[in-house]
Amino acid sequence: MQIHETAFVVSTYRSHHEDISKDIYAKLWNNPATDAIIPDIFKRVSKYEAILHSLRNRFFYERMNTFFKKNEGGTLINFGAGFSMYQFSFGNYVNTIEIDKKDIIDYKKDKVDHWTKEGKLPTRDITYSAIDFTKNNANKIVESLKPLIQKEPIFILLEGVLFFLDKKTTKTLFEVFKMLQKPGDLLGVVTYLPEVENTTVYKRLLHYFDSNNDTHDSFCHQTIPEAYFHEIDKYQLIEKTDEFELSKKYAPTIKIGHKNQILNETIFLLEKI
């Protein structure tokens, strides 16, 4: 599986559980090739994957909606945005900057423009920026993004991306966030903690990626300890949760026995100080 295919998979997951994800536009990205992959992932990795990805979307939807309503607007900068559709669920007082690799950005812009013209999507102020995080230093990324920011405050989102990055690139991104944000701005991040590496389901995930890597699209399988998020320069941790906890709140009927049985991602909400 190529990394960009994961964006289609995650978006299709959100469309399976619109009541949980609150993403009523995700289904626009559904396609037969992705639909054909998903039953195999449920079987070989975990049947809970669609619900878990919908839960993390719900968490960020709630937090960003509250942030932008309270501030009567602002900018969402979505790093590794994939086919996220948050901006269409917020009012048009929110600007969005979408960052991803060039193939995703070109494809997304084309489709979104087309669906907006057709009336399938509401009109939103969206700027697209093609950046490969591994190929640019922090100053260069900041230089290209700063002129695109028209409204403050800023909510930065890094969702479903850290797993694919190495330590150096991760450090670069946190430098970028620090340079772009002002005190009071928020940063939402999702990661696997190293504890997850001991679970059978995580081993199944790695095996799945290894056995389906027909393109040699290499990535890092990164996990990050919780301590990292307590020590980020100029940020304070204001909320920590995980998908297991979120399932109790937003999907109480699914009843997961123990968090070790699922690919439990941890979510951190940080505030710039």
Closer to ligand SAM by Cβ: residue 134 or 241: 134
C-alpha 240/C-alpha 271 separation (Å) is 12
Q: Is 123 exposed, middle or buried (0-12, 13-18, 19+ CB in 10 A)?
A: exposed
User: Which parts of 28-166 fold into alpha helices (H)?
Assistant: 32-44, 49-70, 86-89, 102-117, 138-145
Per CB under 6 A, 20 contacts ligand SAM? no
Answer yes or no: are the C-beta atoms of 158 and 187 closer than 8 Å.
Answer: yes
- The footprint of ligand SAM on residues 123-162 (CB under 6 A) is 132-134, 159-161
Per CB under 6 A, 74 contacts ligand SAM? no
Closer to ligand SAM by Cβ: residue 5 or 234: 5
Per CB under 6 A, 178 contacts ligand SAM? no
Per CB under 6 A, 222 contacts ligand SAM? no
Please work out the total of residues on this chain that contact ligand SAM, with binding judged by CB under 6 A. Answer: 20
Per CB under 6 A, 164 contacts ligand SAM? yes
The least CB distance from residue 158 to ligand SAM, in Å, is 8
How, if at all, do strands 186-191 and 154-158 pair?
parallel
Q: Is 19 exposed, middle or buried (0-12, 13-18, 19+ CB in 10 A)?
A: exposed
Number of Cβ within 10 Å of residue 227's Cβ equals 7
Per CB under 6 A, 188 contacts ligand SAM? no
Tokens of 20: 């949980």
Per CB under 6 A, 4 contacts ligand SAM? yes
Per CB under 6 A, 82 contacts ligand SAM? yes
Closer to ligand SAM by Cβ: residue 82 or 153: 82
Q: Is 134 exposed, middle or buried (0-12, 13-18, 19+ CB in 10 A)?
A: middle
Closer to ligand SAM by Cβ: residue 49 or 159: 159
The binding site for ligand SAM (CB under 6 A) comprises 3-4, 6-7, 10-11, 80-82, 84, 100-101, 104, 132-134, 159-161, 164
